[in-house]
């Protein structure tokens, strides 16, 4: 009689441990899914915002280049000046800004991924 109760208790414990493991696995799957979706949504939002800003920058650059060309009187000079400005910005970021940009991206992505 005592052995039957002990056997039943052990079997119940075994079932409870299996249920706990299954529930924990399902929880971690859902948590991982939630974090992945949050990251994807954040990336899509940033890409969309970046694309819109890039289009705006394109039109502003053309307007500035045409304005400089009209002020100087040489039709292509404004475009060369604007191009040189963007080349200078690119080189500054290439040589001095990599670590800073990497740090910003790491901090923002970790906040998105680990904040709950």
| pLDDT digit string, tens, across residues 86-111 | 999 999 999 988 888 888 888 887 87
Distance CA 113, CA 32 (A): 10
**Hey, where are the domains in the chain?**
2-114
Strands, E assignment, 33-94:
none
Task: Classify residue 104 by burial, with Cβ atoms within 10 Å: 0-12, 13-18, 19+.
Answer: exposed
Helix (H) or strand (E) holding 77, with range, is helix 77-96
Contact (Cβ atoms closer than 8 angstroms) between residue 108 and residue 45:
no
Distance in angstroms between the alpha carbons of the first and the last residue of the chain: 50
Per-residue pLDDT reduced to its tens digit, 36-90:
898 889 889 999 999 999 999 999 999 999 999 999 999 999 999 999 999 999 9
Q: What is the pTM of this model?
A: 0.67
Contact (Cβ atoms closer than 8 angstroms) between residue 113 and residue 38:
yes
């Amino acid at each position: 009689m005592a052995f039957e109760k002990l056997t039943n208790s052990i079997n119940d414990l075994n079932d409870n441990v299996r249920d706990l493991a299954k529930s924990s696995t399902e929880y971690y799957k859902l948590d991982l899914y939630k974090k992945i979706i949050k990251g994807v949504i954040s990336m899509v939002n940033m890409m969309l915002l970046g694309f819109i800003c890039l289009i705006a920058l394109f039109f502003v650059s053309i307007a500035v280049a045409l304005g400089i060309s009209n002020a100087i009187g040489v039709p292509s000079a404004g475009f060369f000046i604007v191009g040189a400005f963007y080349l200078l910005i690119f080189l500054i970021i290439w040589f001095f800004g990599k670590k800073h940009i990497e740090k910003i991206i790491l901090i923002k992505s970790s906040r998105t991924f680990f904040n709950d």
